[in-house]
Copies of this chain bind each other. A is one copy, B any other.
Amino acid sequence: MTEILFLPFEKTAQPDGVKNILELAREAGVPLQSTCGGKKICGKCKVIVEKSDGPLPPPSDRECEVFGELVDKGYRLACDTILTNKAVVLIPEESRLKRQVILTSDAEHQYPVRLQSNVNQYYVEVAPPVLNSVIADRERLLLALSSAYGIHRPGLDPFVLQKLPHTLRSDRKGITATIRDKREIIDLYTGRQDGLFGMAFDIGTTTVVGYLMDLLTGNKLSVKSAMNPQIAMGDDVITRISFCHEEAGGLEKLRASIVECLNALIVEASLEAGIDPSRIMEATVVGNTAMHHLFVGLDPQYLSIAPYPPVLQERQDYKARDLGIKIGASAYVHLLPLKAGFVGSDTIACVLATGLHKSKIPTLLIDLGTNGEIVLGNKNRMLCCSTAAGPAFEGGHIRWGMRASAGAIERLKIDPVSLDVKCETIDNEAPLGLCGSGIISAIAEMIRTGIILEKGNFSEEIQSPRLRDGEDGTEFVLVRASETATKQDIVITRKDVAELQMARSAVYAGATLLMEQFEGEQVRRILLAGACGNYADPLDACTVDLFPACETARVIGVGNAAGHGSCLTLLDKNKRKEAERIAGKIEYRELAAANRFQELFVSSMFFTSALDYQDDF
């Protein structure tokens, strides 16, 4: 049958002697680029006619001009060529339409990204060796890649080189090379192969998330998360840094545990997606500076000593094997740039994902984790700082605090008269404890019902069986033992309130300091990143005075923006340069050096909004 086969998409079309290649490709659903829409102007619809049963039509003047001698090798403009015979047409990588990919299904914060992976697959047929003219296997492969794709002499990883002689001599025709950045061949397969995967990681102090992505379609295949196993060696960054220099081999223990964790996520995600982890050919990693340093084996101890310098700031590419990460043997792990000792690549990734650096309106971005990183700015200027919020926002140091998992109370309502409590839990399971947003919600409701007063102390005027004396002074019973999963009362104690006061004062003071220094327009948008930030009710956040500017700004939860930023840089190589530009442009403010921060921290310790609700009485 007379048909045209479009490679590498394996799609076909019937030539009718009228439609040009571009029109046929469109009908067949082949993603062939054409900026001018077939008006013979842009020259972007370059294709290569690899085979044809008959002679090709003579090239147009425009084709001769664009391709020169290459027209003899079948290089044509799709909009200018009408085929009549059976033929095979290759759409080279640069002529393929780049797909727009949406990372989340949540319409509120979509992260559209152009699929432009750093690693790509190229199919070539390699000329056989001949006697009397010694051309090595490697050289013949490079010649084939150069003539088919114009890729000039990429390097070959030593382990890939070992596969070359057999791959070249299989029963199947041709070979598929996986090439990174057009510069290094990092894998080889016999025949025409499709299947190229990547993994994006966000290493948090408490939680580690891994996203397995299909690099040919941009689809998210699996998302897996785990507790950071380093918690066994210290709850927060500072205790882990101490572990490094107090414990013999501490750094190596911390490093080994996070590497093992990432490898476990790789295996879990690959199993779910039904792929072989060795076909994961690129990984990206974001994390705060300490997590970054521990992952690559850099001693973080000087991060905790003024002036807190990181060992490095630039983005880095490591061979996965040098880090012990078990993906493709010759694949790389890309680490995004860091800003400072306590503003890491996770913050850069948040900015990247939320587009703050392109925003016209002044935006405050708060990543609520064990450290609270804060960015304030717009496309003209950005300031950032880090506050040691402590683990309260992730449920730590709170009597009934817990991670955001099944059974965690994430939101609640207190009846202003009866003080009865209605809880929403994750997965609607029997209450086990409170996650970060649940803690904020509980304290906000207790303020609104007058239970908690301005200074954080409990009202002595309210009489209710729910308010009672406990180990840590007065406590308020949220859920009675009969209704909980543990068969114990779930309570909020005076000490819990104090923990949240400390945490939120740090964030509030940091944000205020940046606003004082920003000297621009008023903040009109507040983005809350991190699991707690995302699920916290904006009204609750304002009630507990989590940040200033509540009156003027719209508050939006943006989910795990750091993780999404990691995914973006995996799918679109240009986002890596963008991350670098953000890191270069953003201005860091060291709060430890600022007396003004101490003043603000102390003065923002009270719940000012409690005064409004007390007036009601």
Interface residues of A (CB under 8 A from B): 129-132, 134-140, 156, 158-159, 161-162, 164-166, 169, 296-299, 301-302, 306-314, 316, 318, 322-323, 338-341, 588, 590, 592-593
Task: Please indicate the chain B residues that have their CB under 8 angstroms from the CB of A134 in the complex.
Answer: 307-310, 313, 339-341, 588, 590
**A137-B312, A161-B311 provided; 9 other pairs, C-beta below 8 A?**
A129-B307, A134-B309, A134-B588, A137-B309, A138-B313, A158-B296, A158-B318, A158-B323, A166-B299
Q: How many chain copies?
A: 2
**CA A137 to CA B301, docked complex, whole Å:** 13
Shortest CB-to-CB span from A17 to chain B, Å, is 45
Q: Say whether A132 contacts B593, CB under 8 Å.
A: yes
**CA A139 to CA B158, docked complex, whole Å:** 30
Q: Say whether B312 contacts A139, CB under 8 Å.
A: yes
Q: Say whether A309 contacts B169, CB under 8 Å.
A: no
Q: Say whether A165 contacts B302, CB under 8 Å.
A: yes
**CA A187 to CA B339, docked complex, whole Å:** 26
A-B CB contact pairs (8 Å), 29 listed: A129-B307, A131-B306, A131-B592, A131-B593, A132-B307, A134-B307, A134-B308, A134-B310, A134-B313, A134-B588, A134-B590, A135-B309, A136-B311, A136-B314, A136-B338, A137-B312, A138-B314, A139-B313, A139-B314, A140-B309, A158-B296, A158-B316, A159-B322, A161-B296, A162-B296, A162-B297, A164-B298, A165-B301, A166-B299
Q: Say whether B299 contacts A137, CB under 8 Å.
A: no
Shortest CB-to-CB span from A258 to chain B, Å, is 15
**CA A165 to CA B302, docked complex, whole Å:** 8
**CB-based nearest B residue for A157:** B322
Contact of A590 among B131, B301, B318 (CB under 8 A): B131
Task: Please indicate the chain B residues that have their CB under 8 angstroms from the CB of A308 in the complex.
Answer: 134
**CA A298 to CA B163, docked complex, whole Å:** 8
Shortest CB-to-CB span from A491 to chain B, Å, is 43
**CA A312 to CA B156, docked complex, whole Å:** 10
Task: Please indicate the chain B residues that have their CB under 8 angstroms from the CB of A312 in the complex.
Answer: 136-139, 156, 161
Task: Please indicate the chain B residues that have their CB under 8 angstroms from the CB of A131 in the complex.
Answer: 306-307, 590, 592-593
Shortest CB-to-CB span from A584 to chain B, Å, is 12
Shortest CB-to-CB span from A170 to chain B, Å, is 13
Task: Please indicate the chain B residues that have their CB under 8 angstroms from the CB of A306 in the complex.
Answer: 131
Q: Say whether B161 contacts A310, CB under 8 Å.
A: no
**CA A296 to CA B157, docked complex, whole Å:** 12
**CA A322 to CA B134, docked complex, whole Å:** 28
Task: Please indicate the chain B residues that have their CB under 8 angstroms from the CB of A318 in the complex.
Answer: 158
**CA A403 to CA B165, docked complex, whole Å:** 35
**CA A357 to CA B229, docked complex, whole Å:** 62
